[in-house]
Amino acid sequence: MPKILYIEENPDPRTGQPRPRFAPSAALYRLGYRRKNLKHDDGRWFTMGEAREWSDKIGREAKSLKVLQKAGLVDATGKKRKKAVYTLGNLFEDWQNPKLNPRFGSQTLVEGRKSQKPLAPRTIRFYRQNARVIEDECIDAWASPADAFDKTITYGMYEEIWISRGLPVANAAMRTLQGAFKWGIKRGKVRLAVNPCSELGLEGVKPRVRVGTIDEILTLVACADAMGLPEIGDMIILAVWTGQRQEDRLQLQHKGFIDGRTYFRQNKTGKLVSVKNAPALTERLEAAAARRKLYSIISPWVILNEKDWQPFKARLYTRRFESVRKLASTGKVRFLGQEYTYAKPIETVATLTDQDLRDTAVTWLARAKNDFIAICSITGHELESATRILRHYLELNEEISDGAIEKMVSWYEESIQQKGQTDDGS
């Protein structure tokens, strides 16, 4: 079926039935048209035939409006032109415009003595995704004046998104909305004294804690090597021995081996990460260096895509990791046109994500009886947030609490013994 102009089908994932959505072109958007779900008053979705009629009607309407609007006689709705209203949609459009907000571009923003780097592409995609959620789920609010928002309205939006998309998506959308309002208020785009998204009392989402076992990690690495993807194995070992985030690992720079330590530079923060040489990690790094030497590759990046010797894009790395995980969990995968098998898969690996490797590193360090300051010195967590972060990891490990009680018992018994000796001698 040919595509209908201005219409997205968006089939229902459960039934496969189309759920048409009006998606105006840039020209229609400038005329004042906004995205909307095409539904009847009773909640039924339009059929594709009805959506086609809607599209034809909008096309005819837009042509008439364009002529009248160009003459300055009417606004986009055909009414007598009034003072333009700065809507929530306009706020998001300006907030994400690199010409108005340098953080969404390539220029470093300097405010007073504080210099702010541009947002990472992944962060920009995250904000735009959340903006799309707000536009799709809160159509009326999207077209409403930005100056009219208050906490009652934004909390209503929060509950609406919570019901339709779930709590994690709703929380992310509200934090994005808060960022947009913060920028708009600072720049004078929005005339509000208080950010309507501040102190909303968002519901907490129970953290997902998934810690890999030694067998699971070694199986993943073995499968990566078997598939001719040793750099994926390197990323896994780098994660569990340094606790760095995926984004940091993909951009981590090797600064050398000095006095029994390995030094890295974080690209995002510029911080130097120093790790005492661990055989499991050092062997992988040395093997990677040998492979590069074989092909005369010189690069400061710790991890390179060894298919083209370029730094990994996050999406490509994720797809490679998922292929390795499939082989490790099922024992069979097809990758780049070739079938790979593995004799000893571990089914539980299917639930282990790359993000879980950071949890694994922190927990392994804690199980080795390191305190949170020592852990932070390796993983790069800020000390202010370390207690809050580590609480979710450590509360699940009985061996840690058992060790704490054992230490307390020893202290208590020694204190009682010393007190008894003092009493006897007095």
The pLDDT of residue 268: 66
On whether both 130 and 174 belong to a single domain, the answer is yes
Nearest to 335 by CA among 361, 307, 360, 309: 307
On whether both 229 and 328 belong to a single domain, the answer is yes
Task: Tell me the DSSP string of 49-86.
Answer: HHHHHHHHHHHHHHHHHHHHHHTTSB-TTSSBP-PPP-
The pLDDT of residue 391: 64
- In sequence order, what are the beta bridge partners of 310? 305
On whether both 342 and 235 belong to a single domain, the answer is yes
CATH number of the domain bearing residue 295: 1.10.443.10
| Distance, CA of 41 to CA of 310 (rounded, Å) | 53
Q: In this structure, is residue 286 part of a structural domain?
A: yes
Q: In this structure, is residue 196 part of a structural domain?
A: no
The pLDDT of residue 81: 47
Look up residue 311 and give its amino acid.
Answer: P
On whether both 145 and 21 belong to a single domain, the answer is no
The pLDDT of residue 116: 65
Q: In this structure, is residue 76 part of a structural domain?
A: no
The pLDDT of residue 71: 44
- Please give the helix or strand (H or E) that residue 258 lies within, else none: strand 253-258
On whether both 372 and 269 belong to a single domain, the answer is yes
On whether both 363 and 242 belong to a single domain, the answer is yes
342 and 325 Cβ atoms separated by less than 8 Å:
no
Q: In this structure, is residue 11 part of a structural domain?
A: yes
Domain boundary among the residues 341, 366, 381 is at: 381
On whether both 323 and 243 belong to a single domain, the answer is yes
> How many domains is the chain built from?
3
Q: Which domain range does residue 139 map to?
A: 88-186
- Please give the helix or strand (H or E) that residue 36 lies within, else none: strand 36-37
The pLDDT of residue 68: 47
The residue whose two tokens read 């003595």 is 113
Q: In this structure, is residue 96 part of a structural domain?
A: yes
Ordered mean pLDDT values, 10 residues apiece, the chain (426 residues):
76 79 78 82 86 83 60 49 77 94 74 65 89 92 92 94 92 95 94 92 78 94 97 96 88 83 75 80 93 94 94 93 97 95 96 91 79 72 59 58 70 79 63
